[in-house]
A and B are shown apart, each in its own frame.
Chain A
Amino acid sequence: MSETAEATESAANAANDESNDAPRTNEASADSPVISIRNLWKVFGPKSARMRLPHDEQVKGLSQTELREKTGCTAAVRDVSFDVHKSEVFVVMGLSGSGKSTLVRCLTRLIEPTAGSLDFNGQDVLSMDKDTLRELRRHRASMVFQNFGLLPHRTVLDNVAYGLEIQGVGKAERRERAAEMVTKVGLDGLGERRPGQLSGGQQQRVGLARALAVDPEVLLFDEPFSALDPLIRRDMQEEVIRLHREEGRTMVFITHDLSEALRLGDRIALMRDGEVVQLGTPEEIVANPADDYVRDFVRDVPREQVISVRRAMRKAEKTEAGKGTELAPDTLVADAIEAVARSGESARVVENGRTIGVVDDARLLSVVAGLDEDAVEGRGEDGEPKEVAAV
Chain B
Amino acid sequence: MSTTTLPQPSEDKEKEKATAAAPATTEVSGARALLARPALAAFGLVLVALIVGALALDGNWPGALNWSSGIKDGLDWLSNWLTDNRATSPLFLYFLLHISNWSEGGVDYVFTFLNNLGWLGVTALATAVSWYVSGAGLKVRSLRIALLTLCTFGVFGVLGVWEYAMSTLALMVVAVAVSAVIGVLLGLIAGLSETGNRILRPVFDTMQVMPAFAYLLPLVLIFGIGSPAALVSTVIYAAPPMARLTALGLRGADPAALEASRSLGSDPWQRLWTARLPLARKEMLLGLNQTIMMALSMVVMASVIGAGGLGDKVYQALSKDNVGLALIPGSCIVLIAIWLDRVTAAAGDQLDTSPGSTRTGGDAGAIALEKLGGWLAWGVFVVFAAVGTLFGPIGERSWPIDWTVSISSPLTKGIESFTKSISDGIPVIGGTDVWASHFTSWILNPMRDAMQASPWWGVLLLVAVLAWMAGSWRAGLTGVLSLAVLGALGLWDKSMDTLSQVIVSVLCTLVVGVVIGILAARSRWVMRLIRPILDIMQTMPQFVYLVPVVALVGVGRPAAILAAAVYALPAVIRITTQGLRTVDPAAMEASRSLGSTGWQQLRQVQLPLARPSLMLACNQGVVLVLAMVVIGGLVGGGALGYDVVYGLQKSDLGVGLSAGIAIVCLGLMLDRLTQSAGTGKRGGTK
Contacts and interface: CB of A to CB of B under 8 A. Distances in A.
Chain A–chain B contact at Cβ < 8 A: yes
Interface of A: 44-45, 68, 72-74, 76, 95-97, 99-102, 108, 110, 134-139, 142-143, 145-155, 162-163, 165-167, 189, 192-194, 196-197, 207, 210, 214, 220, 223, 226, 230, 233-234, 256-260, 262-263, 300-302, 305
Contact of A76 (B10, B16, B258, B266): B16
B3 A197 contact: no
B20 A68 contact: yes
Interface in B151-201: none
Contact of A96 (B10, B20, B257): B10
A73 B19 CA distance: 9
Interface in B1-33: 1-6, 8-13, 15-17, 19-20, 23
Nearest to A136: B265
A211 to B, nearest CB: 8
Given A44-B17, A72-B20, A259 B3 contact: yes
A145 B256 contact: yes
30 contacts: A45-B20, A74-B19, A96-B10, A96-B12, A101-B13, A102-B13, A134-B266, A138-B265, A139-B265, A147-B254, A149-B254, A155-B356, A163-B264, A165-B274, A166-B270, A167-B265, A192-B355, A193-B354, A196-B352, A196-B354, A210-B264, A226-B10, A256-B9, A256-B11, A259-B5, A260-B3, A263-B1, A300-B4, A302-B2, A305-B1
A84 to B, nearest CB: 17
Contacts of B267: 134
A135 B256 contact: no
A371 B557 CA distance: 91
Contact of B11 (A97, A143, A233): A97
Contacts of B11: 95-97, 100-101, 223, 226, 256
B263 A142 contact: yes
A149 B13 contact: no
B278 A153 contact: yes
B263 A143 contact: yes
Given A72-B20, A194-B356, A258 B6 contact: yes
B354 A194 contact: yes
Contact of A150 (B13, B15, B257): B257
Q: Top 5 A-B pairs ranked by shortest CB distance?
A: A149-B260, A138-B265, A137-B265, A149-B256, A147-B256
Interface string B335-366: 00000000000000001101111000100000
Given A68-B19, A102-B16, A259-B3, A108 B263 contact: yes
Nearest to A153: B278
Contact of A189 (B2, B3, B9, B361): B361
> Chain B interface mostly helix, strand, loop or mixed?
helix
A259 B4 contact: yes
Nearest to A262: B1
B266 A166 contact: yes
Interface string B245-279: 00000000010111111111111001000110011
B281 interface: yes
Given A44-B16, A153-B351, A166-B264, 13 more contacts: A74-B17, A74-B19, A76-B16, A97-B11, A101-B11, A149-B254, A149-B258, A149-B259, A166-B274, A189-B361, A194-B354, A197-B356, A230-B3
A226 B9 contact: yes
A196 B354 CA distance: 9
Contacts of B279: 151-153
Contacts of A233: 3
A142 B263 CA distance: 7
Contacts of B281: 153
Contacts of B23: 68
B6 A110 contact: no
A270 B262 CA distance: 27
A263 B357 CA distance: 37
Contacts of B13: 101-102
Given A145-B256, A226-B10, A259-B2, A110 B274 contact: no
A145 B257 CA distance: 9
Report which residue of B10, B16, B19, B261 has the largest number of chain A beta carbons within 10 angstroms of its beta carbon.
Answer: B16
Contact of A256 (B6, B15, B270, B274): B6
B353 to A, nearest CB: 9
B242 to A, nearest CB: 19
A330 B13 CA distance: 38
Nearest to A226: B9
A328 B281 CA distance: 60
A155 B354 contact: yes
B278 A151 contact: yes
